[in-house]
Amino acid sequence: MITAVSIYAVDGGETGKTKKIDDVGVFIVTSLFSVWAYIWMFLVLTVFSPGYVTAAEAWITLIFTLLLIVMAYSCDLCRQRAKAKAGVAESDDENDGEDETEILQQKIAKSYLRTEAKKKGESFVIECVTGGPHANAAPMLIKEDIKENFKKTLKVDTLEGVDIGMLLAALQADNPIERIAFRQENSKSTKASRRNLNKVITQEMQTN
């Protein structure tokens, strides 16, 4: 009953969005425990001790409640880890009102930029936009691809007025777990990449 009312209460008609269950694992656990709660109540009040509840039955009921919380939390935790591994943002609130295709394109663009940053360094990727010695020898096609993917990631029509801070933010992970993994993968080249990046920042400040 609670599940049915909760689903009905979410109005998707005005926004035109299809209602869906965000976490199926937690939904299944809570649904099974909801059904078992009525079965358990029937057994206690009709079969085991008709008309009253014993202390042992009360303690068992409490254990079932704790078990429900632990199992539901475990399902949610496993899902969050899977999303982090896949590079999906934990919160969908930021995506409210956005087209799913645009969101997917943004994630693909960000994944491309992060892959290039892992291979060639953050300074190379950023200099493909701002200009610099590390990107001078890069083919024009790669530079254009990087620029286009930055536009999709930052959701802008042009990169004019976009500073290095915004470009760096576009290369960052969507959640803390992914950020840690990204830093560990790049630990060998981080110092050199940061030195090159500092040079780029210094050059841009001097130019401005």
Domain boundary pick from 86, 108, 139: 86
Domain boundary pick from 52, 86, 120: 86
The residue segments making up the domain with residue 158 are: 99-207
Residue 14 inside a domain? The answer is yes
pTM above 0.85, yes or no: no
The burial class, CB within 10 Å (0-12 / 13-18 / 19+), for 79 is middle
Phi, psi of 54 (to 5 degrees): -80, 165
Q: What is the DSSP letter of 188?
A: T
| Local mean pLDDT, 10-residue blocks, the chain (208 residues) | 66 58 83 92 91 92 94 87 62 51 82 85 85 80 88 85 82 59 50 56 60
